[in-house]
Amino acid sequence: MADAGPRILVVEDHPLIAELVETRLRIEGMQPVVCSGGREALARLAAEHFDAMVLDVMMPDLDGLEVLRHVRATPATAALPVVVLTARSAPADVEQALDAGADQYVTKPFSGLDLVRRLRACLRREGPGASG
C-alpha cells in the first residue's frame, strides 16, 4: 500500500452500526479501527496513533462524553478530530457534546456520505498548516 489513508478510531458498541461505519470508511480509502467501548478506546488512543475518531455517546462501560473529555485533557490527543455519532438529537445533547470538545455532531440514523464529508472536513483542518 503506497499511500495509506487516515487511521480512524471508530468507537461504537452496536455491532451493525460499527460494521456500517467501518465499511463506509474503507470504501472511502480510510483505515478504520473499531472498538466497542470507551475504556478500550482510551487504551487504543494511549498505545496507537489515529488521525481522527468517530465516537458514539451512549455506551455501557464509559460514556462517550467522558471519553471525549479525557481525549481533550490529554496532551497527546487534545487536538484529535472527533466526530460524535449518536442517536441523541436534542439541542441540549448537541451543545453538551460540542462543549466537551466534539468537532462535528452526526445523529443516527445517519448518511454514510454525510459522516465521511464531516470527517474529511475535520481532517483537512488538522492537516498541513493547521496550528497545533
Residues 10-50: pLDDT tens digits? 999 999 999 999 999 999 999 999 999 999 999 999 999 99
Residues 7 and 31: their CA atoms lie apart, in Å, by: 5
Mean pLDDT within 50-70 = 95
Place of cell 448518511: 111
Mean pLDDT within 61-85 = 96
The predicted structure's pLDDT at residue 125: 83
Query: Could you give all domains of the chain from N- to C-terminal order, each with its CATH number?
Result: 7-125 (3.40.50.2300)
Assess whether pLDDT exceeds 90 at residue 127: no
Let me know how many helices (H) and strands (E) the chain has, helices first. 5, 5
Residues 41 and 31: their CA atoms lie apart, in Å, by: 16
